[in-house]
Chains A and B, each alone.
Chain A
Amino acid sequence: MSARVEEKHRAPIRWMHWINFPLLAMMVWSGLLIYWANPVYSLRLFGREIFYFFPQGFYSFLGIPYRLAEGMQLHFFFMWLFGLNGMAYVAYLAISGEYRSLLPTFGSFKRAFRVALYELHISKQKPPQGKYNDAQRIVYTLVILMGAGSIVTGIAIYKPLQASLFTSLLGGYEWARWGHFWLMILFAAFFVVHVVQVVLAGWRNFQSMITGVEIIKSEGSGE
């Protein structure tokens, strides 16, 4: 039996990925400290309230109440690191050519459907898998766009007078805040799905995000 060592995730990708984790966590946490002061959003379907963000128990359990000032202090510091890390990541993707493994291609949307069928155990036919499969390409690209969206909506509510162009393009201050909130919910949802998928994909895949490498057996099933 012989094997090959695949250089899967290059060091800058790994560093920026892991640095982003605590930064995003900090942005969400401090964002919650701020949101508590005016908690007005809920999930509605056909005019009915399905879930109110957030029940009182959620705040008291996490010790969120009356920490608006602290939330703003943290949010307006970590925003710089979160923004810079995100921009560095995008710049690196562009310069290194890594975007080729990440951006969806013309066939991606069709093939992502196959990924979904396969993962839901409806189809047994394995979808094409490169560094990422097509569903991953779409979702990971969307997450980057969500980051950009958080920055833009964030600027629109942080400086609604100075950046009034952003604010009005987003439909005004209230809509910008609404968008900023729902992007956070989407990040949280992505995080949950991402962790579940990583667990399901197994150790070999997980460790490659830390070591950068994955062993590919030449005989047998391969990837």
Chain B
Amino acid sequence: MTVEHDQDTKWPGGHENSANVLNERRSLSDEMSDTEARKVLFARSRRGFLLGGVTALAGILGWRWMPDETKVGFLQKVFRFNEKVTSAFYRPAHLAPEFPAEKITRPARVNGMLGIENEVDLASWRLNVGGIPQRTGDLVLTMDDIRRLPRSECITEFKCIEGWSTIVQWTGPKFSDFVAAFTPWRSPEEMPPYVSLATPDGGYFVGWDTASIMHPQTLLVYEMNGEVLTSKHGAPLRLASPTKYGIKQLKRIGRIDFTNERPQDYWANEGYDWYSGL
């Protein structure tokens, strides 16, 4: 019915029609009567509008009829898919940018008191570590044990899942130095794939993948912006890392467990991405 015309096809409008000037790939049918043309248009309209209408309707109805649980279940699977895709690009040697001291956000923003609503009793605080091979029961550590570890420092951008960010100076041992000192593991590959952390009261708990928590900028922090960690920021010991959103950087750590099972995570249970990796 339609034929591809030669370059010299005259489009209506002469040189004012860019199809005549430029090499536009459009095709024009041969001359036909008005009635014929209307017939062609009618057939195309019926087809186009029907196909488009049915597709649109199927999409809308499908989305509306799909039960919320199915939808959420599917979207959670997409989170896992995204985790697989993006963690494949994860490189432990790839560091987050560091900032000069004058860029530090002051005063530091406080957000979220889950699991640390009560005042902390620093004298009785202990860090309980579970899941270390060839050990029966937890390894129980004091702050002095932690302070003896090599001290690291980095000024990085802290990112909240809400969308804001601040620049913070974190001080304390690398999580990897903690692992090196208190466990038999010598590389992340030897370790179980997950780490679980919780506040002493168990009111807040997060799950980490081992690769991210062993990142060289993931620290067990006891000083923030050059001062001893305050209660609101997670005294005596908290986690800090540019590899995850703030929801994963647990304050007032009471327990650490190395585990083969993907740990429960407070905000993942509320529908957030378990991985939440940056």
Q: Which residues of A contact B (CB under 8 A)?
A: 1-8, 14, 18, 22, 34-35, 37-38, 40, 68-70, 72-74, 76-77, 96-98, 100-101, 105, 126-134, 159-162, 164, 168, 172-174, 177, 207, 210-213, 215-218, 222-223
Q: Which of A3, A129, A131 contacts B34 (CB 8 A)?
A: A3
Asked if A69 and B37 sit within 8 Å, CB to CB, the answer is no
A100-B22 contact, Cβ under 8 Å, with A3-B37, A76-B79: yes
Query: Beyond A18-B52, A74-B75, A216-B12, is A38–B45 a contact (Cβ under 8 Å)?
Result: no
Given A2-B34, A101-B24, A77 contacting B96 (CB threshold 8 A): no
Chain A CB within 8 A of B264 CB? no
Residues of A within 8 A of B159 (CB): 160, 173
Q: Which residue of B is nearest A207, CB measured?
A: B45
Option from B27, B36, B242, B243 in Cβ contact (under 8 Å) with A7: B27
Asked if B25 and A130 sit within 8 Å, CB to CB, the answer is: no
A101 to B, closest residue via Cβ: B24
Interface segment out of the listed B116-124, B140-148, B162-170, B227-235: B162-170
Residue contact A73 to B22, C-beta cutoff 8 Å: no
Whether A211 contacts B163 by the Cβ 8 Å rule is no
- Residues on the B chain within 8 Å of A131, using CB: 18-19, 24, 26
Contact status B76-A173, CB under 8 Å: no
State the Cβ distance, A185 to closest chain B Cβ, in Å. Answer: 16
B199 to chain A, nearest CB (A): 21
Cβ contact within 8 Å between B164 and A5: no
Chain A residue contacts of B278, Cβ below 8 A: 159-162
How distant is the Cα of A196 from the Cα of B125 in the complex, in angstroms?
A: 66
Stretch binding the partner chain, chosen from B126-134, B248-256, B269-277: B269-277
Chain A residues whose CB sits within 8 angstroms of the CB of B16 once the complex forms? 126-129
CA distance A172 to B26 in the complex (A): 44
Interface residues of B in 24-59 (CB under 8 A from A): 24-34, 36-38, 40-41, 44-45, 47-49, 52, 59
C-alpha gap A216/B22 in the complex (Å): 19
Collect the chain A residues with CB atoms within 8 Å of residue B19's CB.
101, 130-131
Known: A3-B32, A3-B33, A162-B94. A223 touches B12 (CB 8 A): yes
Give the chain A neighbours of B26 by CB distance below 8 A. 6-8, 101, 131
